[in-house]
Amino acid sequence: MLDPWWPLAALAVVQFTDALLCLKPVRFVQQCLLDVGFPRRLWWVLTPLKLAAAAGLVLGIWVTPLAVLTTAALVAYFVVAIVMHLRAHDYSRNLFANATGMLALCVATFVFVLRVA
């Protein structure tokens, strides 16, 4: 079991909340997806993807390789999100506060997992 476990649990709560916000995308999520040109036909993928990330983080508390894999995948996800914002010339709060902030949180959790593993 990873000790302390709370960084993974905290990120899992964030991912679970994000999944709920994507279930029937709330207005600011819809606008963000539209701003970066993410195809509407693929919006449904976000909820299961984020739920899988939340589950991987929770299970990663006990299965360290899963914690490493899940946090690495989240880092990759937010790098892609930032690239999408930059390609769309979207230099709004969504890029700087949301995507970049989440990337920083995921990188910090990834580094934490690697150090305590």
Kindly report, residue by residue over 8-44, the tens digit of the pLDDT. 999 999 999 999 999 999 999 999 999 999 999 999 9
48 vs 113: CA distance, rounded Å: 23
**What number of helices (H) and strands (E) belong to the chain?**
6, 0
The pTM for the full model equals: 0.94
| 71 contacts 63 by C-beta, under 8 angstroms | no
Q: What pLDDT is stored for residue 39 in this prediction?
A: 96
- Taking the domains of the chain in order of start, what are their residue ranges? 6-116
Q: pLDDT by residue (tens digit) across 36-89?
A: 999 999 999 999 999 999 999 999 999 999 999 999 999 999 999 999 999 999
A 10 A CB-CB count for 100 gives: 15
